[in-house]
Chain A
Amino acid sequence: MDTLGFLMQGMGVALQPMNLFWVTLGGVLGTIVGMLPGLGPATGVAVLLPMTFSMGPEAAMITMAGVYYGAMYGGSRSSILINTPGDGAAVAATFDGYPMAKKGKAESALAISAIASFFGGGIAIIFMVFCANTVAQFALKFGPSEYFMLMVFALTATAAMSRGNMVKGFISMIMGLMISTVGLDALSGVQRFTFGIMELQGGIDFLVVIIAIYALGEVFKSFKNINKERVEMQTKFGKIWITKEEWKRTKWPILRSAPLGFFIGALPGAGGTMASLMAYNNEKQMSKHPEKFGEGEIIGLAAPESANNAASVGAFIPMLSLGVPGSGTTAVMMGALLMLGIQPGPMLFVQHPNVAWGLIASMFVGNIVLAIVNIPLAGLLVRVLAIPEKVLYPLVLGLAFVGTYAIGNSTIDFFLLLVFALVGYIMNKENIPTSPLILAIIVGNMMEQSFRQAMVISNNNLGTFLKSGVSITLFILAIGSVLVSIYKTHQDKKKFKKLDEKNS
Chain B
Amino acid sequence: MTGIISIVLGILYLIGMMQIELAAIGHPHAPIYFPSALGLGMIGLGIAQLIKDKKISIHQYLNDETIPMILKTAGIIIIYAVLFVPAGYVISTMIFMFMMLYLFNGKNKIKRTVITTIIFSILVYVVFSKLLGVYLPVMPFIYI
Contacts and interface: CB of A to CB of B under 8 A. Distances in A.
Nearest to B48: A167
A390 B60 contact: no
A81 interface: no
B95 to A, nearest CB: 12
Chain A residues touching B, majority SS: helix
Given A171-B46, A405-B84, A185 B77 contact: no
Contacts of A311: none
**Most chain B CB inside 10 Å of its own CB: which residue of A177, A224, A405:** A405
B124 A398 contact: yes
Nearest to B32: A192
Nearest to B70: A220
Given A171-B6, A399-B124, A448-B34, A415 B69 contact: no
B26 A429 contact: no
A390 B105 contact: yes
In which size bucket is the chain A interface? 35 or more
Interface stretch (A98-106, A139-147, A260-268, A417-425): A417-425
B11 interface: no
Given A170-B45, A175-B9, A418-B74, A402 B128 contact: yes
Contacts of B97: 394, 398
Contacts of A417: 77
B25 interface: yes
**Most chain B CB inside 10 Å of its own CB: which residue of A171, A191, A192, A417:** A171
A53 B42 contact: no
B135 A394 contact: no
Contacts, number: 158
Given A402-B136, A411-B84, A415-B81, A188 B25 contact: yes
Nearest to B40: A174
Contacts of B136: 402, 405-406
A195 B13 CA distance: 12
A372 interface: no
A190 B132 contact: no
B5 A426 contact: yes
A353 to B, nearest CB: 27
A456 B48 CA distance: 33
A226 interface: yes
A401 interface: yes
A171 B42 contact: yes
A196 to B, nearest CB: 10
B135 A409 contact: yes
Contacts of A393: 104
Nearest to A185: B31
B49 A171 contact: yes
A286 interface: no
A430 to B, nearest CB: 5
A276 interface: no
Interface of B: 1-2, 5-6, 9, 13, 16-17, 20-26, 30-31, 33-35, 38-39, 41-42, 45-46, 48-49, 52, 60-61, 64-66, 69-70, 73-74, 77-78, 80-82, 84-85, 89, 93, 96-97, 100-101, 104-105, 112, 116, 120-121, 124, 128, 132-136
27 contacts: A167-B45, A168-B49, A170-B45, A174-B42, A178-B38, A181-B35, A187-B25, A187-B31, A188-B24, A188-B25, A189-B24, A190-B31, A193-B17, A220-B70, A220-B73, A224-B66, A390-B101, A394-B100, A398-B100, A398-B120, A401-B96, A402-B89, A402-B124, A411-B82, A414-B84, A417-B77, A418-B77
Given A190-B20, A417-B77, 6 more contacts: A51-B128, A170-B45, A174-B38, A174-B45, A402-B136, A451-B34
